[in-house]
Amino acid sequence: MRLEGELTLLRVVLRNTDKHSWFSAPAAEELVRRARKEGMAGATVLRGIYGLDITGKLLQGSGWSLADHVPVVVEIVDGPQRIGRFLTTVAEVVREGIATLERARVMLYRHPHGESGRDRLSTRVPAGIPDLSTVPTPEEFPAMQMSEDGQLLRIFIGESDQWQGTPLYRAVVLKAKELDLAGATVLRGPMSFGANSRLHTTKLLELSGDLPIIIEIVDSAAKIETLLPFLDEVVQEGMITIEAVRVLRYRQNAAKSG
């Protein structure tokens, strides 16, 4: 199966404790199970440590409670047709959450079985591709008629970064809450290096308090823009990226949360 080329990246952000029915597995696990059953190219679940859900509620894990509510991200990559059909499954499984779709350039895909005749990685950087050029269209997939243009903001900082005595990632999430942004997810990585080339890793005990942090925030371009002056003030060292995405919001309990 060749998957190189322009595909679609589907990201679904929800809570780790969400279920699509009372006795079912967690919704994130159910999405991965169904993606596998439907033959999707692959799926990854990322567990956050802090954030906002789509209702504006703070999510934070304590590290000891099995009932902690933290954000999780399910990422699935495949062709626009397959992703478009899978949106029906997402709508069925996810009761409250937010999904984004963006183009994904797959440089190499190797089947895990067998090495003979395997494809070689292209060593040429792909040319520029129009934003959202591989996202499923509303004409083909009715679920996309509810989508809207948006942006995915990513902020790369260190866990030890502070702002006025508060961890910077918390300060950013609280500012996003104040500005009524749709949601925020904080992810902690096990290893990184930044502009100064200093290595941060869980294997180095003396640096273990400064692991990499990624804050991901999704909303309209106008709402994302309201956060940028604050980021310009508080992010002293790090990187900020913005990607064009299509956004789908799932708010089955909107009346209750309002």
Task: For 203, list phi and psi in degrees, rounded to 5.
Answer: -80, -15
Q: Is the pLDDT confidence value at 252 over 80?
A: no
User: Which residue bears the tokens 């100064």?
Assistant: 196
* DSSP SS3 for 78: strand
Q: What is the pLDDT of residue 172?
A: 97
Domains recognised in the chain with CATH numbers: 5-147+248-257 (3.30.70.120), 148-246 (3.30.70.120)
Average pLDDT, the chain: 83
User: Does residue 214 have a pLDDT over 70?
Assistant: yes
Number of H helices, E strands in the chain: 5, 14
d(CA 128, CA 109): 20
Residue 207: φ, ψ to 5°: -110, 5
pLDDT band at 192, cuts 50/70/90? very low
Of 55-59, 128-132, 138-142, 194-198, the least confident: 194-198
**63 vs 246, more confident:** 246
Closest to 221 (Cα-Cα) out of 182, 177, 174: 182
Taking residues 219-239, what's their average pLDDT? 94
The residue among 132 and 44 whose pLDDT is bigger is 44
Read off the pLDDT of residues 19-35 as tens digits, 9 standing for 90 and up: 987 888 899 999 999 99
Instruction: Assign 93 a pLDDT band (cuts: 50, 70, 90).
Output: very high
- Band the pLDDT of 91: cuts 50, 70, 90: very high
Tokens of 184: 């925020």
Residue with tokens 């064009």: 244
Rounded to whole angstroms, how far apart are CA atoms 124 and 231? 34
| Per-residue pLDDT at 118 | 54
> How confident is the model over 4-17, as a mean pLDDT?
88
